[in-house]
Structure 1
């Protein structure tokens, strides 16, 4: 199978490529040279690197497209310029891919495209499934809603579309945990605000395995919550992380302070999304890490 992958050098993309070693992969990247170096762990002469889609007039030669490209949403404060980068990095490449798919006589049979649980907004204690009502306002919603609307245009009787509403991805060497670990290792970590907000999380191995599963499953189509079956509150996450590190969990960071530090992007920390992967489990996907403590222990063992 020939797979076109965007975001291949990202946190999930690097892991996903390990699960696709038996296939030909074309990675779209801004820097082929840097990508080759970063992906050397998984490149068995089955990866080509391109820095633009402009050479393609269609995707007749591609069997499937996995679209994970996007400026990290939580790394910087949301200035207007940063918001534009976040949006355009997702919307523009997705539209380019959709246009190429629609121009193909024999288009890719599968288009898997990113999104995030931020599309649901703050849902407090509600269980959130793929058919749950999304938010109607807020920056994370607007980013993800437009991203999904563009991707859905690729759907036809020849191309199935899968949308990934991804939670917090836990893995060594990157992601949200990289920012969380330093204070917890020093024994000064703790809950954020009240700690009552739910955090939908997923181990990076399960995130990559789930994407590969969607790629090859005949039942896979539509929206998927890419999160573990047992989301936890920020309080429980903090307590579990401290326990795994054998550190105390006595502190808390007040909401007003995070609002001051992070500005509008603090909503990523305080919005409560109790997302459940109903659609994934219905089509037969089995999680390796369903519960938080074993997931964190595995990640921390590999991080050291």
Structure 2
């Protein structure tokens, strides 16, 4: 396949490039720093402008994972603008370009996040549940998906991937948690009762590949493991895997004071089931948190 990837230099993008390079696919990565792409993205060629692909052979697929990190710093007005531009505006530009191609790609797989649902409390949530819309994160995801959906007008199959926090040996949420937990300084966030969906990086890569390969897959899919855990459960499982205590919780009031509205990412949650994902026949390699963490944290 001929595949264009945005966000290719990120955690998921780099893993996808390694996977697809081993399968012999032709890869292009749209990047602000295309000269860095070959070193970061195995087997991929970097492009600074989409127009660099004009006049070439048609693409088979576009995978849109671009977006500035959402949890790196508080949501100031400037940060919100950057998050919006890097997701919503970029996707609009990408879809408009696809529509101008003589032969548009057959499929667009576009990123989203479980934040689409907002803080769902104790409610069970699946792909047919309503969006949150109560906080900036959910509104961002809704607008992001709407821009991707426009590609359908050109006969493009659109799959939307609502991704949970991705667990990886290096990078992402787990990398931020490991230093304090390894020192025995970890603990639950707030009450610890908020639901916390998650997915192993290997399963995230396999699911993206699965959705590309199956022509019947269209619409939203939850990219999360089938095991549903609360933050307190996650905390204790991580601590047990590291053979450390987890007795230093982060109080709710401190998180809200420090992070403002962004604290919903830590204090809110989604009791999420990947119902449509399961219906596609996808099989998880790491459906249970204890097994996933044991694999990720095993000593080399």
TM-score with structure 2 setting the length: 0.95
Alignment correspondent of 2:32: 30
2:229 and 2:107 mapped to 1: Cα distance? 32
Q: Over residues 127-174 of structure 1, what are the superposed CA-to-partner deviations in whole Å (9 max), with x where a residue is unaligned?
A: 210001111321001110110000000014731000010101000110
Alignment correspondent of 1:72: 69
Cα offset, 1:54, TM superposition:
3.7
The secondary structure found in structure 2 opposite 1:65 is strand
The answer as to 2:232 corresponding to 1:230 is: no
2:124 and 2:241 mapped to 1: Cα distance? 27
Alignment correspondent of 1:50: 47
1:8 and 1:55 mapped to 2: Cα distance? 17
1:69 and 1:162 mapped to 2: Cα distance? 15
Q: Is the 8 A contact 2:63 2:108 kept in 1?
A: yes
2:161 is matched with which residue: 164, 181, 184? 164
1:189 and 1:76 mapped to 2: Cα distance? 20
Cα offset, 1:108, TM superposition:
0.6
Name the Cα RMSD after superposition.
1.5
The answer as to 2:206 corresponding to 1:209 is: yes
Q: How many residues align?
A: 298
Give the ranges of 4+ consecutive aligned residues of structure 1 lying more than 6 Å apart after TM superposition: none
Q: Is the 8 A contact 1:229 1:276 kept in 2?
A: yes
Q: Where does structure 1 lack aligned partners over 5 or more consecutive residues?
A: none
Q: Is the 8 A contact 2:6 2:31 kept in 1?
A: yes
The secondary structure found in structure 1 opposite 2:245 is coil
Alignment correspondent of 2:5: 5
Q: Over residues 98-120 of structure 1, what are the superposed CA-to-partner deviations in whole Å (9 max), with x where a residue is unaligned?
A: 11222233211100001011010
Cα offset, 1:188, TM superposition:
1.4
TM-score with structure 1 setting the length: 0.94
Q: Is the 8 A contact 1:60 1:108 kept in 2?
A: no
Q: Is the 8 A contact 1:58 1:103 kept in 2?
A: no
Alignment correspondent of 2:17: 17
The answer as to 2:151 corresponding to 1:154 is: yes
Report matched runs for 1:124-273 at 5 Å.
Answer: 124-156=121-153, 158-273=155-270
C-alpha distance 122-59 of structure 1, shift in aligned 2 (>3 A): farther
